[in-house]
């Protein structure tokens, strides 16, 4: 009995020793995206100056740059995505750890070719782009000047594009992606990036022209826009390089979205 008691005491000591050095299982906190929509935009008209110098438009889409002889392709497969398109923009609050931020969520149509070199095997799907930023950043939009082209850069903390499966999963997919990026930021310095609100309000006409996109300052890469803009030279020939119109006032000479004041103010309040 004495030997058995000693063994039991030794086993207890060993178990307590292991407990002292073991780590507790602590799950990483998941960001909480608020259910209340602070601002939303679901309709707009996209305008584009085509190669023949004619303005063409589509609902919620800036059409692709296609010559009139190929205009039947403008709503077809890849070209049907346009320069840019959206289903909705939403602004919500998001709580990450112990702080509350804002998140802009853009739902849009997407797709890809199985064989891109020959443009065969097209598949339609949807994607979501998200941008998380400090709540104080939104105050930059208070300084928008009427009858002028305003370029507002919002500092972004977390952002990415993910495939939107359905309304039940895309929020949780965004949350998981942010958790992943939080871990990456601990070991990798992320390139500084911006969410750009390019807005031109014309109060007397009751219209607001705008584009929303993102850019990385170091490489000037535009995210959310399929391509830049081809232009013809004085001989009517296309140049090899596309015209860099984003991040410049020239943007509104070629393409933009347009909506009335009331509709836009349901998304972002223009005070001036």
User: What pLDDT score was predicted for residue 230?
Assistant: 73
User: What pLDDT score was predicted for residue 265?
Assistant: 94
For residues 201-210, average pLDDT: 96
Half-sphere exposure at residue 215, Cβ-oriented, CA atoms within 13 angstroms: 18
53 part of a folded domain: yes
Q: How far is CA 257 from CA 21, 33, 45, 90, in A?
A: 60, 28, 5, 16
Residues paired with residue 220 on neighbouring β-strands, in sequence order:
none
User: What pLDDT score was predicted for residue 39?
Assistant: 97
pLDDT of 22 strictly over 70: no
pLDDT band at 164 (very low <50, low <70, confident <90, very high): confident
User: What pLDDT score was predicted for residue 239?
Assistant: 64
User: What pLDDT score was predicted for residue 135?
Assistant: 96
20 part of a folded domain: no
31/61 Cα distance (integer angstroms): 31
25 part of a folded domain: no
pLDDT cut 90: percent of the chain above it: 58
48 part of a folded domain: yes
Q: How far is CA 262 from CA 75, 104, 272, in A?
A: 29, 20, 13
Q: Higher pLDDT residue, 58 or 72?
A: 58
156 part of a folded domain: yes
Other Cβ atoms less than 10 A from the Cβ of 189: the count is 7
Q: Higher pLDDT residue, 193 or 172?
A: 172
| Domains contained in the chain, number | 1
Which residues, including other chains, have CB under 8 Å from residue 215's CB and lie 6 or more apart?
193, 194, 196, 221, 222, 223, 246, 247
Range of the domain at 191: 34-265
Query: What is the 8-class DSSP label of residue 17?
Result: H
pLDDT of 221 strictly over 90: no
241 part of a folded domain: yes
163 part of a folded domain: yes
Which residues, including other chains, have CB under 8 Å from residue 152's CB and lie 6 or more apart?
140, 141, 143, 144, 196, 197, 198, 199
User: What pLDDT score was predicted for residue 240?
Assistant: 59
Per-residue pLDDT tens digits for 109-158: 999 999 999 999 999 999 999 999 999 999 999 989 999 999 999 999 99
pLDDT band at 31 (very low <50, low <70, confident <90, very high): very high
pLDDT of 38 strictly over 70: yes
15 part of a folded domain: no
């Amino acid at each position: 009995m004495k030997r058995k008691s000693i063994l039991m005491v030794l086993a207890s000591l060993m178990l307590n020793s292991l407990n002292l050095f073991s780590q507790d299982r602590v799950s990483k906190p998941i960001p909480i995206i608020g259910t209340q929509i602070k601002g939303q935009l679901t309709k707009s008209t996209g305008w584009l100056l085509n190669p023949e110098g004619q303005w063409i438009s589509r609902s919620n889409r800036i059409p692709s740059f296609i010559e009139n002889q190929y205009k039947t392709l403008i709503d077809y497969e890849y070209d049907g995505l346009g320069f840019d398109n959206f289903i909705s923009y939403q602004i919500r609050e998001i709580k990450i750890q112990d702080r509350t931020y804002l998140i802009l969520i853009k739902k849009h149509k997407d797709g890809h070719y199985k064989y891109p070199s020959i443009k065969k095997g097209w598949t339609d799907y949807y994607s979501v782009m998200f941008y998380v930023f400090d709540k104080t950043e939104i105050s930059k939009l208070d300084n928008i000047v009427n009858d002028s082209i305003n370029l507002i850069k919002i500092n972004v903390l977390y952002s990415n594009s993910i495939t939107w499966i359905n309304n039940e999963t895309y929020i949780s997919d965004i949350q998981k992606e942010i958790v992943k990026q939080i871990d990456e930021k601990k070991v990798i310095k992320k390139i500084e990036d911006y969410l750009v609100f390019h807005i031109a309000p014309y109060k007397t006409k009751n219209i607001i022209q705008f584009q929303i996109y993102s850019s990385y300052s170091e490489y000037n890469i535009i995210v959310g826009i399929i391509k830049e803009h081809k232009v013809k030279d004085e001989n009517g020939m296309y140049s090899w390089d596309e015209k860099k119109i984003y991040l410049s006032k020239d943007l509104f000479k070629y393409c933009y979205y347009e909506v009335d004041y009331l509709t836009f103010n349901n998304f972002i309040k223009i005070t001036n």
